[in-house]
Structure 1
Amino acid sequence: MSPAGDRAAPCTPACVTGSASRVPPAELARRYAALSYEIGLGVAQGERLAEPHALRARARGILGALGVRLEEEPKTLTVRTVNGTPPESRRTRPGTLIVANHISWLDVVSLLAVEPVTVLAKREVGQWPVVGTLARRAGSQFIDRDGLRQLPTTVADVASALRSGRSVLVFPQATTWCSVPGGRFRRATFQAAADAGAPVRPVTIRYYQHGTRSTTAAFLGDESFGASLHRVARARGLAVRVTAHAPLLGSDRRELAAEAQAVIGAHEMPAHV
């Protein structure tokens, strides 16, 4: 989640389509019970939750509990160099800066189910009941989106994590949007990748219901987490598709941000003009 820039978006809770296909009350109760079980396992694991195999298992378990099908497309391994000379390679192979469009709180769960990484999240997430505890134990880093003075420190911390070989997940849009293109990508965290000589992997996240594009999972405006969770839990036939694109390597944060956004939003029509 970007710590700076305009966060106002034309997407509001009104953009979210009501789920026309819902599970019956008995199935909804079963899903909540399964979700509670998965959360309980995560809490019981304590600091071990940050271990990659544990984090992936819990993320996949949460998706399964909510009845969300994960569709993971194969990764592209070939690295593309963006205009600008990439920094010289170092003895220690850096981690990857994973950047994705932001639609829902479910994005994080879906991406961790594919590749457990350090998540850079807004400070408010760390204060959510239960979810905040799990996020902290999973090794997430929290930032104040309004704290411009904190920005250089955040960039330095992300660069340090990348240099150490850890991969970091960020959402360069300033807030959640109901469509993939959304707002323009903020550039600050791309500077961390440039400083660390780390590749940037763009990832596109899309949600479907019964095979049709859906905004059911979108988390927008001042909607409460509980309301969003309930809409997801009662939805029938919900799926999330995670598409990882070719990694980008470069030294110019503007070029990296523009190219990553272009790749993620390719062939997508924005919901708002």
Structure 2
Amino acid sequence: MNPLNPWPLEPVCDPSCAGRSTASVSPAVRGRRYAALAYTVAGAVAAGKRLSEPEVVRAKARAVLDGVGLRIVGDTGPLSVPKEESGGTGTLIVANHISWIDVITMLAVEPMTILAKQQVGGWPVIGGLARRLGTRFVHREKVRELPLMIEDMTRLLASGRSVLVFPQATTWCSVAGGGFYRASFQAAVDAGAPVRPVTIDYFQGPRRTRWAGFLGVENFTASLSRVAGAADMTVRVTAHPPIRGTDRRQLAQDARLVINGELAPMHAGPGAVAKVRTGAGAGAAAEVRAGAAVTVVRTGAAADVRTGAAADVRTDATADVRTDAAAAEPEDEPARMAVG
């Protein structure tokens, strides 16, 4: 493993995060769902080059969701900012990442170019379909290829094509899991393109659920089995107002705050919120991005640091707190862009 790798290759969540389903379908219904999914995938394979046509993509994506018993609620219109408002560029669409269903859902709303990990390209059937859709693959172990990826994304955006990125870099069991890795936002900066934050969340009946998650090292079959067996499940898509900026750090922070809203993270990880209270401001509080632990604390006096889902740092002088999500950046440009 590359020690400078900025992406979390080891997921934090595992299948135990899924919790419980509040309602299940009968074995007969589950069987019909598997059959419908197989029929849809076979149809997508048979579509050949037509799979690159937006209307075909949208129809197949919706058929997959229908096949496994999922309904989309919320924003189902175009996610890209209109060209007359974007200056002719495409839109960098960024969303939280919970499940393999996220990609299908976004394509059902609006077909777009997707940035995915290299491993997806090697998956049977799915990899071939992804390539036909024009998916861009990033090899997360080859950090020095990152500038080339950013250049490619910049060209796509400048040409008017929208690109979907999941800046959490891996799946989490809840909306607010994990920090946002900022390299992809540089493409929006370079292309002068707007960023559209999107929240993807799952519900069973009126209650939020983690049952649809693709969690940790579990295989696709296990996740599919949970989804196909659940009743009354919906996926909610919330498109937030577009944002612009010239600093990828600020864009990533703004996008994450909008996407998470008031939701609290289920796990500690890059981007978890920590409270810092210092003697310099007589009880003043500041928020920092924290990992599972605060990695560097520089203070003018002794500090009491307690870590967990959040860190509470009390000092008698101003504290300079740096976290896993904001660690010192390596000097070489590819790693620097990746980390921050």
SS at match of 2:184: helix
In structure 2, give the amino acid aligned to 1:150.
E
For 1:269, which of 232, 244, 264 is the aligned residue? 264
Relative to the length of structure 1, the TM-score reads: 0.90
Alpha carbons 1:181, 1:265 under 8 Å: kept: yes
Partner residue, 2:102: 107
Quick one: which of 123, 127, 130 aligns to 2:125? 130
- CA distance, structure 2, for counterparts of residue 70 and residue 224 of structure 1: 24
SS of residue paired to 1:178: coil
Segments of 5+ residues of structure 1 without an aligned counterpart are 80-88
Distance apart, 1:173 and its partner CA: 0.5
Identical residues among aligned pairs (%):
54
- Write the distance in 2 (CA, Å) between the matches of 1:90 and 1:243: 20
> Structure 1, residues 106-128: CA drift from partner, whole Å, max 9, x if none?
00001111111001011111122
Distance 1:251 1:35, change over 3 A: same
Give the number of the structure whose alpha-carbon radius of gyration is greater. Answer: 2
Q: State the match for 2:173 in structure 1.
A: 178
* Deviation, structure 1 residue 90: 12
What's the CA shift string for 1:103-148, capped at 9, x where partnerless? Answer: 0010000111111100101111112222222111111111112221
Higher strand fraction: Structure 1 or Structure 2? 2
Give SS of 1:188's match: coil
Q: How does 1:64-143 map to 2 (within 5 A)?
A: 64-73=66-75, 93-143=88-138
The Cα offsets for residues 175-200 of structure 1, whole Å up to 9 and x where unpaired, read as 11111111110110000000000100
Matches of 1:11 and 1:166, distance apart in 2: 33
Native 8 Å contact 1:76 1:244 kept in 2: no
Contact preservation (8 Å) 2:8, 2:170: no
- The code of the aligned residue for 2:75 comes to E
1:82 matched residue in structure 2? none
Q: Is the CA contact (8 Å cut-off) linking 2:77 and 2:109 kept in structure 1?
A: no
Q: State the distance in 2 between where 1:199 and 1:140 align.
A: 20
Task: Return the letter of the residue paired with 2:208.
Answer: R
| Root-mean-square deviation (Å) | 2.1
2:6 to 4, 7, 12: 4
Structure 1 stretches of at least 4 aligned residues deviating more than 4 Å after TM superposition: 74-77, 89-92
Q: Tell which has more relative contact order, 1 or 2 (C-alpha 8 A, sep 6+).
A: 1
**TM-score normalised over the length of structure 2:** 0.73
Offset from partner CA, 1:214-266 (integer Å, 9 cap, x none): 01111111100111111111111111000000011111101100000000001
Write the letter of the residue equivalent to 1:176.
T
Q: What's the offset of the Cα at 1:174?
A: 2.3
Contact 1:210/1:237 (<8 A) preserved: yes
Q: Distance in 1 between matches of 2:77 and 2:224?
A: 29
Task: Note if contact 1:75-1:243 (Cα within 8 Å) is conserved in structure 2.
Answer: no
Aligned length: 261
Deviation at 1:19, TM superposition (A): 2.4
**In structure 2, what is the Cα distance between the partners aligned to 1:90 and 1:239?**
31
CA spacing shift, 1:11–1:37, aligned 2, 3 Å: same
Alpha-carbon spacing, 1:217–1:92, altered in 2? closer, same or farther (3 Å): same
Match of 1:60 in 2: 62
